[in-house]
């Protein structure tokens, strides 16, 4: 036991003599010993004749019979005060008998034998009574514990458990009052939660007790019982008006569960009372029972709150489920629909009753062959816990036979770790898809018209304008050669005109190449990219390298043109904005896809928004590259960080 338990033992030992002296049985034993001793040594006193006849019939002399009388106070002391009382009384009786047995008796050996026999028999009988007393106390404790356990187990409501327990404890301990404090872990103090036998004013005055202060606070801090014989000597309780309430003695024990102090239990008396060790042990055991009941009540309250939160969450989910604009339905592993919202009715064309009764055909009733194959693939990946790209497009067939395109997400529903159903959330994007396809078709037509116009202008520049400039250049050259009588200034002027004509002609040639590179039409994508890298490198000073991966192959001319334009725009951005010194173009040819990467070592930039916000942010070049990639059914990814350059990746199924 701890320091406080040792203090309890010291208190018990220090007041043991006082408690014994105060009991009437002690004085009766003292008087009995005195009377027997007087008879034992009173030679002049004559015993009654019937005692003389009885002792002679039993073969005992007068003094042997008196020695047998000493068994009475010894046994009585053992019954009243236990084994220690019997031993103490037998020693006193021995002290009374030995002088006569040794110095007075004519038969000292017989007298000593009789004296020892009285001592031994008295202690044996007292020891037997002590065992019987302990057994009786143990039975009383077990009955009390069973009663408290029965009361505490009748309900999981904390208030009802404590109220019933206090009633039983006050009756069992014959106490005037009882109080139960529980630890408030958040506040760090004890809160009075149940009481009996005290006034409302007193209950309010002790409603909150700091852990470590006062009797209950000390018990809560140490976890050891505390017996207080006179509480009026404690200044802490005077402060909380114990004297006004008339409380005199207290026994306080901790309420424990799994070694943790849950609170304290206090029984109080309005008169002086010294609590026995058995009472302390009994109330401690009762406190442990109540501590377990308190913890169970807390757990029950926590579970009830969790259940209430779960119920509220389920109600909110049900409300969201029913009022959601997106279609939501749940089907079991066999495909039978077990739940659906109103949006599902509008989307699928079936009523809710029809959906729930579709066990013969279940979800296959509104899935096309392609959609069913996709659904099986999604199901397999989810069951195997493989990643699934979501949301994904799914095609369904409505009740009226029309086809709809959904943007869907699918989740696996599990119960105790076992998959039981699939939940689908679908949004009808049929019109949106058609509008997007129409817009893409419109952009495709606009782009093709632009390319056709570029080709026409490039052809006209090459066939008409550049040819006319070639003729003009030759005429100027011939004029300068034939005019021998021209002045030096005229010749210089003709020379400048000839150079200007050649410069304009070179500019138009380059413009014609930019509008429609002839290399692309004649040799294909890779040679056109090499020419483009060489041309931009020559004018910008940037080292641009073209690398090839995979077996080179030709793709359809329209696709080659789109890919060329994307790389052309990317390299122009490197030239104009990146401040790079080197760049590379990687062309990766696969069996069914073409992947191109443009990387530079420029200053880079911070990508703050998604690719869809490029137009809004004014990055029209990047937006045009993305739209061109979409025309091929491909994708464009952009990676850039300040100081780490930029990487543009285009992947298309061509």
Chain segment 30-67, per-residue pLDDT in tens? 888 888 777 666 554 454 454 445 444 544 454 566 67
How far apart CA 232 and CA 602 sit, in angstroms, is 87
At 583 the pLDDT is 93
For the record, the structure tokens of 53 come out as 């006849």
pLDDT given at position 97: 81
**CB neighbour list of residue 512: distance below 8 Å, 6 or more residues apart:** 457, 458, 461, 462, 466
Task: Tell me the mean pLDDT in the region 336-354.
Answer: 82
**Mean pLDDT, the chain, integer:** 78
Phi, psi of 468, deg, nearest 5:
-65, -40
pLDDT tens track for 603-640 = 988 876 655 555 555 567 787 888 888 877 888 888 88
Residue 28 has pLDDT above 70, yes or no: yes
Residue 83 Cα distances to 25, 42, 125, angstroms: 15, 31, 10
pTM: 0.44
pLDDT at 628: 81
Asked whether the CA dihedral 189, 192, 198, 201 is positive or negative, the reply is positive
Question: Which ranges of 154-225 would DSSP assign to H, the alpha helix?
Answer: 158-173, 200-205, 214-222
Q: What is the mean pLDDT of residues 216-228?
A: 88
pLDDT score at 490: 74
Give the DSSP letter string of 255-267: EEETTEEEEEEEE
* Nearest Cα to Cα of residue 190 among 250, 261, 293: 261
Give residue 592's Cα distance to chain centre: 48
Cα distances (angstroms) measured from residue 6 to each of 13, 106, 276, 424: 11, 52, 15, 68
Distances in whole angstroms, Cα of residue 48 to Cα of each of 26, 62, 66, 530: 28, 11, 13, 147
Residue 445 has pLDDT above 60, yes or no: yes
Residue 648's pLDDT is 92
Whether 553 shows a pLDDT value over 80: the answer reads yes
For residue 337, the cross-strand partners are 331
**CATH among 3.90.1150.10, 2.60.15.10, 3.30.70.20, 3.30.450.40 for 156-302:** 3.30.450.40
647 has pLDDT over 50: yes
- The answer to whether the bond into 391 is cis (omega within 30° of 0) is yes
Residue 478 pLDDT more than 90? Answer: no
Q: Which two tokens stand for residue 109?
A: 């050996």
Residues in CB range of 490: below 8 A, 6 or more apart: 483
Least confident of 15-29, 240-254, 471-485, 534-548: 15-29
Assigned CATH for 330-428:
3.30.450.20
How far apart CA 594 and CA 415 sit, in angstroms, is 45
Whole-angstrom CA distances from 600 to 586, 604, 641, 643 are: 12, 9, 12, 11
Per-residue pLDDT of 86-105, as tens digits, reads: 788 888 888 888 887 777 77
Span 119-145, mean pLDDT? 73
Q: Is the dihedral of CA 47, 53, 56, 60 positive or negative?
A: negative
Average pLDDT estimate for 402-427: 88
pLDDT band at 216 (very low <50, low <70, confident <90, very high): confident
Q: How confident is the model at residue 156 (pLDDT cuts 50, 70, 90)?
A: low
Q: In the chain, what's the furthest Cα-to-Cα distance?
A: 193
Highest mean pLDDT among 8-12, 162-166, 370-374: 370-374
CA 317, 376, 434, 565 torsion-angle sign: positive
Burial class from Cβ neighbours inside 10 Å (0-12, 13-18, 19+) for residue 650 reads buried
pLDDT reported for residue 236 = 54
Distance CA 384, CA 419 (A): 11
The H or E element that residue 330 is part of is strand 327-332
**Sign of the alpha-carbon torsion through 516, 521, 523, 528:** positive
**For 323-334, what is each residue's pLDDT tens digit?**
788 888 888 888
d(CA 118, CA 97): 10
CATH assignment of 521-654?
A: 3.30.565.10
pLDDT of res. 232: 66
> Quick check: 12 and 277 in contact, CB under 8 A?
yes
Sheet holding 177-184, edge to edge: 208-210, 189-196, 177-184, 260-269, 249-257, 226-228
Q: What value does the mean pLDDT take over residues 262-281?
A: 84
> 3-class SS at 70?
coil
Question: For residues 161 and 293, is the Cβ–Cβ distance under 8 A?
Answer: yes
N-to-C CA span, the chain: 85
632 C-beta neighbours (distance < 10 Å), count: 21
> Which three-class secondary structure state does DSSP give residue 465?
helix
Cα–Cα distances in angstroms (integers) from residue 559 to residues 438, 448, 628, 632, in the given order: 19, 11, 10, 7
Position with higher pLDDT, 643 vs 23: 643
Q: What is the pLDDT of residue 562?
A: 84
Those residues whose C-beta lies under 8 Å from the C-beta of residue 557, and which sit 6 or more positions away, are 521
CA–CA distance, 452 with 442 (Å, rounded to integer):
15
- Give me 421's structure tokens: 């159903």
Q: What is the mean pLDDT of residues 417-426?
A: 88
Q: Give the whole-angstrom CA distance, residue 301 versus residue 320.
A: 28
pLDDT number for residue 646: 92
Per residue in 163-189, pLDDT (tens digit) is 777 887 887 778 888 899 998 888 888
- Is residue 538 classed exposed, middle or buried when 0-12, 13-18 and 19+ CB atoms within 10 A define those classes? exposed
Question: Does the structure show a pLDDT above 50 at 277?
Answer: yes
Position 617 scores a pLDDT of: 56
Percent of the chain with pLDDT over 70: 82
- Identify the pLDDT of residue 44: 40
* pLDDT, mean of residues 438-466: 74
Statement: residue 5 has pLDDT above 60 = no
């Amino acid at each position: 036991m701890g320091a406080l338990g040792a203090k309890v033992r010291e208190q018990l030992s220090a007041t043991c003599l006082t408690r014994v002296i105060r009991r009437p049985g002690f004085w009766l034993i003292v008087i009995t010993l005195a009377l027997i001793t007087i008879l034992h040594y009173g030679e002049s006193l004559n015993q009654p004749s019937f005692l003389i006849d009885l002792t002679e019939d039993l073969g005992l002399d007068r003094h042997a019979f008196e020695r047998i009388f000493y068994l009475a106070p010894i046994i009585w002391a053992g019954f009243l005060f236990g084994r220690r009382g019997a031993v103490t009384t037998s020693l006193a009786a021995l002290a009374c008998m030995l002088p006569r047995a040794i110095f007075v008796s004519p038969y000292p050996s017989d007298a000593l034998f009789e004296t020892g026999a009285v001592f031994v028999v008295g202690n044996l009988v007292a020891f037997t009574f002590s065992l019987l007393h302990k057994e009786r106390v143990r039975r009383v404790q077990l009955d009390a514990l069973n009663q408290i356990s029965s009361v505490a187990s009748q309900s999981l409501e904390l208030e009802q458990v404590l109220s019933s327990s206090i009633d039983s404890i006050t009756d069992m301990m014959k106490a005037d009052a009882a109080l139960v404090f529980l630890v408030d872990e958040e506040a760090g103090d004890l809160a009075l939660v149940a009481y009996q036998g005290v006034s409302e004013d007193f209950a309010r005055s002790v409603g909150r007790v700091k852990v470590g202060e006062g009797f209950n606070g000390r018990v809560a801090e140490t976890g050891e019982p505390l017996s207080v014989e006179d509480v009026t000597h404690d200044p802490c309780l005077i402060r909380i008006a114990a004297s006004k309430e008339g409380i005199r003695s207290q026994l306080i024990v901790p309420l424990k569960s799994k070694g943790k102090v849950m609170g304290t239990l206090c029984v109080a008396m309005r008169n002086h009372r010294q609590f026995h060790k058995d009472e302390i042990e009994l109330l401690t055991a009762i406190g442990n029972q109540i501590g377990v009941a308190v913890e169970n009540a807390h757990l029950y309250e926590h579970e009830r709150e969790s259940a209430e939160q779960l119920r509220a969450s389920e109600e909110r989910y049900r409300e969201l489920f029913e009022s959601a604009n997106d279609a939501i339905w749940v089907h079991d592993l066999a495909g039978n629909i077990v739940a659906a919202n109103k949006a599902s009715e509008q989307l699928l064309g079936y009523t809710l009753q029809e959906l729930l009764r579709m066990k013969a055909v279940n979800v296959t009733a509104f899935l096309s062959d392609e959609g069913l194959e996709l659904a099986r693939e999604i199901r397999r990946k989810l069951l195997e816990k493989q990643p699934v790209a979501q949301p994904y497009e799914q095609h369904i067939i409505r009740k009226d036979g029309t086809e709809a395109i959904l943007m869907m997400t699918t989740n696996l529903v599990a119960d105790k770790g076992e998959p039981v159903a699939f939940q689908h959330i679908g949004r009808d994007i049929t019109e949106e898809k058609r509008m997007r396809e129409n817009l893409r078709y419109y952009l495709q037509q606009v782009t093709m018209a632009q390319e056709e116009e570029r080709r026409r202008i490039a052809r006209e520049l090459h066939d008409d304008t550049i040819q006319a400039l070639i003729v003009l250049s030759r005429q100027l050259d011939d004029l300068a050669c034939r005019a021998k009588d021209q002045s030096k200034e005229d010749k210089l002027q003709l020379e400048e005109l000839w150079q200007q004509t050649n410069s304009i002609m070179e500019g138009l040639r380059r413009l014609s190449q930019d509008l429609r590179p002839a290399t692309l039409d004649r040799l294909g994508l890779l040679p056109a990219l090499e020419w483009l890298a060489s041309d931009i490198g020559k004018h910008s000073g940037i080292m641009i390298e073209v690398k090839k991966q995979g077996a080179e192959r030709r793709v359809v001319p329209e696709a080659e043109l789109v890919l060329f334009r994307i790389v052309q725009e990317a390299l122009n951005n490197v030239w104009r904005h990146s401040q790079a010194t080197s760049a590379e173009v990687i062309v990766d040819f696969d069996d069914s896809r073409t992947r191109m990467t443009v990387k530079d070592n420029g200053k880079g930039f911070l990508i703050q928004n998604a690719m869809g916000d490029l137009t809004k942010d004014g990055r029209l070049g990047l937006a045009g590259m993305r739209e061109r990639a979409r025309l091929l059914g491909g994708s464009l990814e952009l990676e850039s960080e300040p100081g780490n350059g930029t990487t543009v990746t285009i992947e298309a199924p061509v």
